[in-house]
């Protein structure tokens, strides 16, 4: 592994104080990469065990929420003899700046990796101010 | 002797003992003590076969190499995140990348020809059956 400084264990997602989850299962915070360039912001998230059917992305008031349900696949007739990682759902939310073109958001998931493309609104792209030397 | 046969002789099964220990220590009941190994694995047992699962999102089948020798399984592979930052600005970089290699031993000799592996939604499942030659032989008792 090259990323030796990273904590590779799954991180549990937090809940607001005084609030409990309805389902008695663990919810993890997926690892993400966020890269921004002139045209768009690309968010990539690791969601092992999630496919297009069990993924739910919602956008409400500039907050984009990613929720992935994981069906626990216990091999038939087996019992867990040794466990190092836990299986649970995924949840994470990000607040977007209002420069994202919400109509053009694209999401794709392939082998447990979500790619979310957030294109910038046209107005923002044009709002570049040229500075001339006085 | 198969590890899971221990209890027949009144000796505690080490797998169960380990399981109980984990339950007592972690409270949540599942996890082995944290390890620096990567990737993390879960081992499921069913008599004469073991199923190893590990979460490797974004890794292609061709990028994983599974080798079996005797009782030992080795998982090797790599994940590259592609050209991350060209002209843009990286806000977050949390996902892992690079090469990994992990070896572990099962409590029985594995039948190398019957190992089966599949990738589903970024989770690797490897089924490892016990070798026929390693299975205990049943001995018929003759009446005198």
E-strand spans in B38-93? 41-46, 49-55, 64-69, 72-79, 89-93
Q: How far apart are CA A56 and CA B21, in angstroms?
A: 37
Q: Does residue A17 lie within any of the structural domains?
A: no
pLDDT tens digits for range A71-124: 877 888 888 888 889 899 999 999 988 788 888 999 999 999 999 999 988 876
Q: Which value does ipTM take for this structure?
A: 0.80
Count the domains in chain A: 1
Q: Which residue of B has its CA nearest to A54?
A: B121
pLDDT tens digits for range A47-80: 999 999 999 999 988 899 999 999 877 888 888 8
Q: Identify the helix (H) or strand (E) that includes residue A113.
A: strand A113-119
Q: Does residue A71 lie within any of the structural domains?
A: yes
pLDDT of B38 reads 86
pLDDT of B29 reads 47
Question: Which domains are assigned to chain B?
Answer: 1-34 (no CATH), 35-79+98-133 (2.60.40.790)
Q: How far apart are CA A68 and CA A30, in angstroms?
A: 9
Query: Is B12 within 8 Å of chain A by CB?
Result: no
How many other β-carbons are positioned within 10 Å of the β-carbon of residue A98?
A: 8
Query: Is A3 within 8 Å of chain B by CB?
Result: yes
Q: Does residue A73 lie within any of the structural domains?
A: yes
How many other β-carbons are positioned within 10 Å of the β-carbon of residue B136?
A: 9
Query: Is A33 within 8 Å of chain B by CB?
Result: yes
pLDDT of B1 reads 42
pLDDT of B14 reads 66
- Asked if A47 contacts A54 with a C-beta cutoff of 8 angstroms, the reply is no
Q: How far apart are CA B67 and CA B74, in angstroms?
A: 5
pLDDT tens digits for range A24-41: 788 999 999 999 888 889
Q: How far apart are CA B122 and CA B136, in angstroms?
A: 36
Q: Does residue A59 lie within any of the structural domains?
A: yes
pLDDT in tens, chain B (144 residues): 445 555 555 556 666 666 655 555 544 445 566 667 889 999 999 888 999 999 999 998 999 999 999 999 999 999 988 765 666 677 888 999 899 999 989 989 999 999 999 999 999 999 999 998 888 888 889 988
| Structure tokens given for A2 | 């090259």
Q: Is the dihedral of CA A76, A80, A85, A90 positive or negative?
A: positive
| Chain B 79-98, residues with CB within 8 Å of chain A CB atoms | 81, 84-98
Q: What is the CATH number of the domain that holds A49?
A: 2.60.40.790
Q: Does residue A78 lie within any of the structural domains?
A: yes
Phi–psi pair at A5, nearest 5 degrees: -80, -5
Q: Does residue A107 lie within any of the structural domains?
A: yes
Query: Is B127 within 8 Å of chain A by CB?
Result: yes
Alpha helices in B14-134 (DSSP H): 14-26
Domain holding A81, by residue range, is 24-126
Q: Does residue A102 lie within any of the structural domains?
A: yes
pLDDT of B28 reads 46
User: What's the maximum distance between 2 C-alpha atoms anywhere in chain B?
Assistant: 87
- SS3 (DSSP) at B133: helix
- Any idea how long chain A is? 134
| CB < 8 Å to A92, chain B | none
Q: Does residue A101 lie within any of the structural domains?
A: yes
pLDDT of B17 reads 63
């Amino acid at each position: 592994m090259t990323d030796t400084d990273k904590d590779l264990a799954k991180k549990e997602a937090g809940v607001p104080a005084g609030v409990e989850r309805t389902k008695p299962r663990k919810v993890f915070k997926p690892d993400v990469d966020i890269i921004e360039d002139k045209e768009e912001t690309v968010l990539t998230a690791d969601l092992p065990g999630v496919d297009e059917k069990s993924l739910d992305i919602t956008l409400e008031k500039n907050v984009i929420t990613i929720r992935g349900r994981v069906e626990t696949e216990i091999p038939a007739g087996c019992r867990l003899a040794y466990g190092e990682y836990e299986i649970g759902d995924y949840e994470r939310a990000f607040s977007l700046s209002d420069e994202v073109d919400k109509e053009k958001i694209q999401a794709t998931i392939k082998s447990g990796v979500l790619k979310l493309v957030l294109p910038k609104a046209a107005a923002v792209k044009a709002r570049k101010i040229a500075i001339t030397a006085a | 002797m198969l590890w899971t046969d221990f209890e027949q002789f009144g000796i505690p099964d080490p797998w169960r003992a380990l399981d109980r220990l984990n339950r007592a220590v972690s409270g949540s009941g599942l996890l082995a003590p944290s390890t620096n190994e990567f990737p993390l694995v879960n081992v499921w047992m069913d008599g004469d076969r073991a199923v190893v699962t590990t979460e490797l999102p974004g890794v292609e089948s061709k990028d994983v190499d599974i080798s079996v020798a005797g009782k030992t399984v080795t998982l090797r592979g790599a994940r590259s995140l592609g050209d991350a930052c060209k002209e843009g600005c990286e806000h977050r970089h949390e996902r892992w990348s690079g090469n990994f290699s992990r070896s572990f031993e099962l409590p029985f000799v594995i039948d190398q020809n019957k190992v089966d592996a599949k990738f589903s939604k970024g989770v690797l499942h490897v089924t490892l059956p016990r070798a026929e030659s390693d299975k205990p032989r049943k001995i018929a008792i003759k009446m005198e």
